[in-house]
């Protein structure tokens, strides 16, 4: 059934567990929101689910149009249309004009609320995926997740290390290997921006800016990550090593950012080849000390880590093995 754009003030409703929210769910919500003035999305709750309904609702809210309101039900969807229609009418501020679903029971539910029904992708041809498939094998189906959910569920792998240790080369190569996104080092871009200053002294607030901006970039790129993986060239912990390099001490604010954004795995690039000057590097004599401090901070972070060295092929082989061992998605409810 196709519902044309409704008259001013029209209200729509849709419902689901959205556990977890995926691209098919977003297609349903966006299609429905385009046909009514306001759409209510009811997210069914149930005790014991791995991902709380409030979190699922938050993810949907991030990726939904502005005329959508997300409401969490007090419990799971009742089995029959009539009690579920009563529940929906109790939750909604006004009766809906149209109920949108991708389910065979949708027309009966809509009728029980006194609403028209609009089916959206009933055959699941547009987005052939189900939340059940995602829950059973999240990594294999990660690309189907709603972008906001990817940000929180992706496994983050940070390539850390001192200057001129091959971090960037390894991070990008790993992203290419796993066909996913990677986060270039924002600090390098920032360095280029201040390269022509007469007074080149670094201030502590610059490191906090670099660390926070780098992680904002990471969240943006995580929305497009594939295979459940996001590669990062450095992070706040590495930025703190640079703070120590230029200011002689660690910064508690940067350290807190590192704690809040602790990755699933650190890959520490060993300084086992000749230092190479590339126009931005200036810490040849500090490389070994920065490597030692990186090791110390990573070991103290509580995150899993692996030191990788040797040729590029050696590093890749060891890094890929470490990632495969560290990154697991258990089946969740």
- Give the tokens for residue 101: 């679903």
Position 251 scores a pLDDT of 97
Q: Is the pLDDT of residue 6 over 60?
A: no
Position 283 scores a pLDDT of 65
Least-confidence region, from 8-12, 62-66, 116-120, 133-137: 8-12
Number of CB atoms found within 10 A of residue 93's CB: 9
Give per-residue pLDDT as tens, 185-239. 999 999 999 999 999 999 989 999 999 999 999 999 999 999 999 999 999 999 9
SS3 content of the chain, % helix, strand, coil (to 5): 45, 15, 40
- Give the tokens for residue 270: 């060993």
Q: What are phi and psi of 276, to 5 degrees?
A: -120, 125
Contact 291, 161 (CB under 8 A): yes
Whole-angstrom Cα distance, residue 92 to residue 84? 12
Tell me the three state secondary structure of residue 102. coil
Residue 264 or 165, more confident: 264
Report cis status (omega within 30 of 0) of the bond before 225.
no
Whole-angstrom Cα distance, residue 3 to residue 43? 23
Give per-residue pLDDT as tens, 246-290. 999 999 999 999 999 999 999 999 998 776 665 555 666 778 899
Per-residue pLDDT averaged across 84-93, rounded? 93
Could you tell me what percent of the chain has a pLDDT over 90? 82
């Amino acid at each position: 059934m196709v519902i044309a754009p409704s008259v001013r003030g029209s209200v729509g409703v849709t419902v689901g567990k959205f556990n977890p929210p995926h691209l098919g769910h977003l297609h349903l919500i966006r299609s429905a929101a385009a046909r009514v003035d306001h759409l209510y999305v009811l997210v069914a709750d149930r005790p014991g689910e791995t991902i709380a309904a409030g979190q699922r609702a938050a993810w949907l809210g991030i990726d939904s149009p502005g005329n959508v309101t997300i409401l969490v039900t007090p419990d799971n969807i009742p089995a029959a249309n009539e009690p579920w229609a009563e529940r929906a009418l109790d939750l909604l501020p006004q009766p809906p004009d149209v109920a949108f679903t991708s389910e065979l029971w949708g027309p009966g539910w809509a009728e029980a609320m006194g609403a028209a029904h609009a089916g959206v992708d009933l055959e699941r041809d547009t987005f052939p995926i189900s939340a059940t498939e995602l829950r059973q094998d999240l990594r294999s189906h990660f690309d189907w997740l709603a972008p906001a959910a990817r940000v929180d569920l992706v496994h983050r792998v940070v390539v850390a290390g001192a200057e001129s240790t091959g971090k960037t080369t390894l991070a990008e190569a790993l992203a290419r290997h796993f066909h996913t996104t990677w986060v270039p080092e924002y600090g390098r871009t920032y360095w280029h921006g201040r390269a022509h200053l007469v007074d080149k002294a670094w201030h502590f607030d610059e490191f906090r800016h670099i660390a926070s901006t780098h992680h904002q970039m990471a969240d943006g790129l995580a929305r497009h990550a594939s295979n459940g993986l996001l590669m990062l060239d450095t992070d706040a912990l590495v930025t703190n090593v640079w703070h120590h390099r230029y200011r002689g001490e660690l910064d508690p604010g940067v350290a807190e950012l590192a704690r809040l954004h602790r990755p699933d795995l650190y890959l520490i690039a060993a300084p086992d080849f000749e230092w190479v000057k590339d126009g931005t590097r200036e810490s040849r004599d500090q490389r070994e000390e920065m490597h030692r401090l990186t090791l110390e901070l990573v070991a103290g972070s509580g995150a899993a880590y692996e030191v990788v060295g040797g040729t590029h092929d050696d590093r890749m082989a060891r890094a890929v093995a470490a990632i495969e061992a560290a990154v697991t998605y258990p089946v969740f409810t």
